[in-house]
Amino acid sequence: MSASTETTIALNEGVTEALSREAATARSAGEPEWMRERRVHAFDVYARTPMPTRRLEEWRYTDLGEKLDLASLSLGTRSEVADDPSAWPAGVRATMEEDWDAAAHVVLIDGTVVHVDLDEALAGKGVVVTSLRDAVNDEETWEDAKQYLATQAVKPERGKFAALNCALYLDGVYVYVPRGVHVDLPVRVTRWISTSAAAHFDRALILAGETSKVTYIDEVLSDDLDTHTFASNAIEVIAKDGASVQFVQMQRLGRNVFAHSQQRTLAHRDATANTLNVALGATTSRVDLNAQMLGPGSSSEMLGLYFGDGDQHFDHNTSQDHVSPHAFSDLLYKGALDGDAKAVFRGIIRVHPKAQQSDAYQTNRNLLLSETASADTLPNLEIAADDVKCSHGATVGQLDEESLFYLMSRGIPQEKAERLVVMGFLGEILLKVSLGGVIEKITREIERKLAHV
Amino acid sequence: MSAPILKIENLQAKVADEDLQILRGVDLELNAGEIHAIMGPNGSGKSTLAKVLAGHPGYEVTGGTATFEGEDILEAEPDERSQAGIFLAFQYPVDIPGVSIANFLRTALQAHAGDEELDLFEFQDLLMEKMDLLDMDPSFAERPVNDGFSGGEKKRNEILQMACLQPKLALMDETDSGLDIDALQIVANGVNKLREDNPEMTVLLITHYQRLLNYIEPDFVHVIVQGRIVESGGPELALRLEDEGYATWQSEVTEEVG
């Protein structure tokens, strides 16, 4: 049923032009009424929200008119790949070989969940790791999904693309950790994109009950694609009182992909919601991350790392909202740029009027490895309370002739010298992350990119 | 008598992107194990000479030759010169955030070892031995290279690198600049200890002041003015410079040019 229904809305005129309420409704085939209503509502928000242009501060340095051609794309459809590793793309198997240290694995191909496994002991404690589709469709479990999916974190009202994702998402991941349960090993999600000239939409909802603990590693990747492709993703993290969530996204998509991830973490009283965003792939990569410190004592460590080469364009748009007093947030984004690559960082700390005793920090550092690479960095503060500790800083530095000569004068060949400087620079981020497999994958990918220099 | 380890003939060099000639025909011979000091006023080309010998990309050789152990070095990359046994102690060492001194030196020594895998235990032993020799705290090796270092720490780090890389020829570019007398003594003692360890190490000291030569005694002193060596002699020449300054030679050269 779903395959044929959805094929009819593969929009030859493009996702934007031919999108209708009916298309959003069709996407909801088999889903309960509340979900259909939610998608239709999202469509309505999408329809009445103008497409962002460079006149909007948040999109000033990423020209959607130039970088994203929705009209050329068809809507991604369900993948028919079997739940069998031998049927998966080689790239999926290769990256998962290092992921054996896990509480659960989820594999998505073109936004469709094709595999889920979860440690039985954890399942026995009530932990749920499943496809979003199943979570939404199962009457037994949908209460939480109904309460939180696109209602508090990445809801349609967040903007044009948040609405579009909610209206059209194909599938995604649902994680629920009951009160007091600690999931010690990470939940590892591998999302693979294989169909080009399409717009893919998926999302994840991570619900951590009171004083629970979970780490979620989201790896999205593809081969280099032959034509323009859009991969849209939404991440919702709800950390209830005293919960601790670590979310890691490693973006290693191939060229010609426009990757867009919209993430929002809600940290309630004494909760921790930490994030690490690693952007290495895609032609254009945009991450919108908003961390909400909703309860007193909440905290968020926000780390980011990017390495661009060729004509890659990375845009990180972050915000830290201190809504409650006595909360802590610390953001550190570092990136190295080679070739003609370009990075944009726009970050804002917002301390709301009642958020006295806030501790909020924000730092963005860029290292340019070539004359033609560039970085625009715009850190910002908006403080409405008077008893706070806040700081922000940004730098754009150059791997200059003198540094390189210094290293080479010790006998280190140029390529190794560049690698040493870059890994030293980015190492500050990696040192803060002790996750098996993650550092190795990032290091290897950066070294592979450096070797092309 | 054996051939000189470093032989410079009529070496001329200019700033790479500018029409600014700095070395105007330098002649110099260093035999293995000798200590030579090159002294000169600001802008005389003494630092340029050290940088050109190490292969700094900011300068372009416009004439003359320089051979190290009989081989032309002017075409070699800086890393190749280092691997051949030339070491430049920087006047202004560069900081490398996030890279520990130990990691930096291990990478450098691995490059010197070529295809042969560096034995990490041997490396660790070597590093500890040299730090001990130079009275350095072992924790120093874990600090990021020159990042947040004081002037004295930067220069000591240069000497530590020199100790570990064990060059045949050490070019010391104004190692004394920016140091107080205590730091100067520590650095000079370090160099002397390395020389005791390895008497065959040849040293070319570039300096503006005579005071360094109180602690590291040179065999020969050369005066460089306007890109040429205008006089060579023994240690007494440095003392004469201390008294008289460079005025004599500067006026001579000016007259010659004028």
Whether residue B37 has pLDDT greater than 80: yes
pLDDT tens digits, one per residue of A9-56: 333 345 555 577 888 898 999 999 999 999 999 999 999 999 999 999
Average pLDDT, integer, range A313-337:
98
Pick from B90, B103, B107 the residue to mutate for testing the A interface (most A CBs within 10 Å): B107
CA-nearest of B128, B185, B184 to B160 is B128
Q: What is the pLDDT of residue A210?
A: 98
pTM of the shown model: 0.88
CA atoms within 13 A on the CB side of A302: 32
Q: What is the pLDDT of residue A153?
A: 97
pLDDT tens digits, one per residue of B55-66: 999 999 999 999
Chain A residue set in contact with B, beta carbons under 8 Å: 401-403, 405-414, 416-417, 420-421, 423-428
- Would you give the DSSP letter of residue A182? B
Whether residue B250 has pLDDT greater than 80: no
Q: What is the mean pLDDT of chain B?
A: 93
Q: How far is CA B95 from the centre of its chain?
A: 18
Q: How far apart are CA A80 and CA B165, in angstroms?
A: 60
A–B CB contacts, 8 A cutoff, strictly below: 81
Query: In which band, very low, low, confident or very high, does the pLDDT at A302 lie, cut at 50, 70 and 90?
Result: very high
Higher pLDDT, B74 or A17: B74
Q: What is the pLDDT of residue A241?
A: 98
Residue B11 CB partners (closer than 8 Å, separation 6+)? B23, B25, B26, B27, B49, B52, B61, B63, B64, B65, B66
Q: What is the pLDDT of residue B253?
A: 61
Q: Closest Cα of chain B to A420: distance in Å?
A: 7
Locate the domains of chain A by residue range.
2-294
Q: What is the pLDDT of residue A7?
A: 38
Contact B104 A420 (CB under 8 A): yes
Q: Which long-range contacts does B64-67 make (Cβ < 8 Å, 24+ apart)?
A: B64/B8, B64/B9, B64/B10, B64/B11, B64/B12, B64/B23, B64/B25, B64/B26, B65/B7, B65/B8, B65/B9, B65/B10, B65/B11, B66/B6, B66/B7, B66/B8, B66/B9, B66/B11, B67/B6, B67/B7
Q: What is the pLDDT of residue B255?
A: 52
Q: Which residue has the tokens 């009529």?
A: B10
Burial label, A413 (beta-carbon count in 10 A; 0-12, 13-18, 19+): middle
- Would you give the DSSP letter of residue A66? H
- The CATH fold assigned to B6-257 is Rossmann fold (3.40.50)
Q: What whole-number percentage of chain A has pLDDT above 90?
A: 84
Contact B79 A412 (CB under 8 A): yes
Higher pLDDT, B133 or A349: A349
Q: What is the pLDDT of residue B92?
A: 93
Contact A408 B55 (CB under 8 A): yes
Q: Closest Cα of chain A to B50: distance in Å?
A: 12
Facing residue for A424 by CB, picked from B56, B98, B111: B98
Higher pLDDT, A16 or A441: A441
* A430: closest chain B residue by CA: B98
Pick from B99, B101, B123, B161 the residue to mutate for testing the A interface (most A CBs within 10 Å): B99
Q: How far apart are CA B86 and CA B210, in angstroms?
A: 24
Contact B98 A428 (CB under 8 A): yes
Q: Tokens at residue B231, please?
A: 């006089």
Q: What is the pLDDT of residue A71?
A: 86
For residue A417, the chain B residues in CB contact (below 8 A) are 79
For residue B15, the chain A residues in CB contact (below 8 A) are none
Average pLDDT, integer, range A330-354:
97
Q: Which residue has the tokens 């009950």?
A: A209
Q: What is the ipTM of this complex?
A: 0.95
Lowest-confidence pick of A13-22, A150-159, A224-233, A315-324: A13-22
Query: In which band, very low, low, confident or very high, does the pLDDT at B176 lie, cut at 50, 70 and 90?
Result: confident
Q: Closest Cα of chain A to B253: distance in Å?
A: 32
Higher pLDDT, A17 or A311: A311
Whether residue B181 has pLDDT greater than 70: yes
Average pLDDT, integer, range A329-337:
98
Higher pLDDT, A336 or A415: A336
pLDDT tens digits, one per residue of A96-142: 998 878 999 999 999 999 999 999 999 999 999 999 999 999 988 78
Strand intervals (E) in A64-181: 74-75, 104-109, 112-118, 128-131, 171-177
Q: What is the pLDDT of residue A15?
A: 58
Residues in chain A: 453
Whether residue A412 has pLDDT greater than 60: yes
Whether residue A6 has pLDDT greater than 80: no
Q: Tokens at residue A202, please?
A: 């998926």
Q: What whole-number percentage of chain A has pLDDT above 70?
A: 95
Residue type, position A379, single letter: P
For residue A423, the chain B residues in CB contact (below 8 A) are 98-99
Average pLDDT, integer, range B74-78:
97
Q: What is the pLDDT of residue B209?
A: 84
Chain B residue set in contact with A, beta carbons under 8 Å: 54-58, 77-79, 81-83, 87-88, 90, 93-94, 96-99, 103-105, 107-109, 111-112, 144, 161, 165
pLDDT tens digits, one per residue of A248-261: 999 999 999 999 99
Q: What is the pLDDT of residue B247?
A: 82
Residue A368 CB partners (closer than 8 Å, separation 6+)? A336, A337, A374, A375, A396, A397, A398, A399
Q: How far apart are CA A295 and CA A312, in angstroms?
A: 38
Whether residue B116 has pLDDT greater than 50: yes
Q: Compute and round to an integer the Cα radius of gyration of chain B.
A: 18
Contact A421 B144 (CB under 8 A): no
Q: What is the mean pLDDT of chain A?
A: 93
Q: Closest Cα of chain A to B238: distance in Å?
A: 29
Locate the domains of chain B by residue range.
6-257
Q: What is the pLDDT of residue A431?
A: 87
For residue A405, the chain B residues in CB contact (below 8 A) are 54-58, 78
Whether residue B256 has pLDDT greater than 60: no
Q: How far apart are CA A405 and CA A408, in angstroms?
A: 5
